[in-house]
Amino acid sequence: MVFEKGEAHSRMVAESNRKRARKPGYREQVNAKISATKKTPEGKLRASQGQKKAYSEPERRALQSQITEQSYIDHPELRDVRAKHLSELERTPESRKKLSESQKKRLEDSGARQTLSTSLRKAYEEHPEWRERRSEKQKEVMARPSSVERNRQQMRRLWDEAPDKLRPMHRWKSGNMTRIEKVIWSIVEPYGFEFEPHYYRIGDNFLLPDFVRGNLVIEVQGEYWHTEEETAERERLLNLLGMEVLFVWGEELKRNTLPATKEKILQWIGANT
């Protein structure tokens, strides 16, 4: 029997598909077949080409963006489900390198950078909690030993490659210590502590500890410049990096309290060595 393609034919095909879909196991078989096809190199290439072709149309991109945004409004839990799914995807060195190169190529376009900046600003204004969530995630990532070491190497390289630009900006050059820093330096220098820049980054926070030896940090806090709240937050961030921290306040370095403070510092070094 031959049917002319038209409205009647479309209705017939749709009804036939609905009947097949009602058969036990049919839906699972189709999904399994589609899933298996997508995992083949040919299937991945075909899907990628189809997506690129579809999203090359501005109207299609705008429509898809509206649909996605509305779905997140109607079903807020979908955002967490999607984030979990993305985090569970296999992250091989090859895939990370490919993603990095793709992002760099995309951001070479000043228009794309401006669009991304505008979108993020708008999103943070409408959903302030996203900024906090992103900040916490960044802190978690940057606290990983591999991230700490990578950032340390990058900052060291910048320090060596651009001395005229970075070093004058850094107040911790030899001879530029504050009075109380000089007092601490006279105590800890024989024990292997360094007064050179050790850069660490956690999220949007850049840390430059005063005296560092391995994972030991001694921070000098002047009462005029620092508060208890700031000190507690700084200790929390350094602890995330696996650092043991001792804070010494300016009041502890007065003549009548200096001997006891020196003893406290040496006992702390001994207990953590």
pLDDT of residue 266: 93
CB 246 within 8 Å of CB 271: no
How far is Cα of residue 215 from the mean position of the Cα atoms in its chain? 22
pLDDT of residue 149: 74
Closest CA to 218 of 171, 268, 143: 268
pLDDT of residue 2: 44
CB 246 within 8 Å of CB 215: no
Between helix 41-55 and helix 58-74 the angle, nearest 10°, is 100
DSSP string for residues in 183-213: HHHHHHGGGT-B-S---EEETTEEE--SEEE
pLDDT of residue 227: 77
CA–CA dist 5, 9 (Å, integer): 5
pLDDT of residue 8: 74
Q: How large is the C-alpha radius of gyration of the chain?
A: 29
Q: How many CB atoms lie within 10 A of CB 265?
A: 19
pLDDT of residue 118: 81
pLDDT of residue 160: 63
| Strand 200-202 to 205-207 pairing | antiparallel
CA–CA dist 9, 34 (Å, integer): 25
Closest CA to 199 of 138, 250, 142, 252: 142
pLDDT in tens, the chain (273 residues): 444 556 677 778 778 877 777 777 777 777 777 777 767 777 777 777 777 777 677 777 777 778 877 877 878 777 777 777 766 665 677 777 777 787 777 777 777 777 877 877 787 777 777 777 777 777 777 677 777 777 767 766 765 666 555 544 454 444 467 788 888 889 998 998 988 666 677 766 777 788 889 889 999 887 766 778 888 888 888 888 888 999 999 888 888 889 999 999 999 999 988
Contacts of 17 (CB under 8 A, 6+ apart): none
Closest CA to 198 of 216, 220, 184: 216
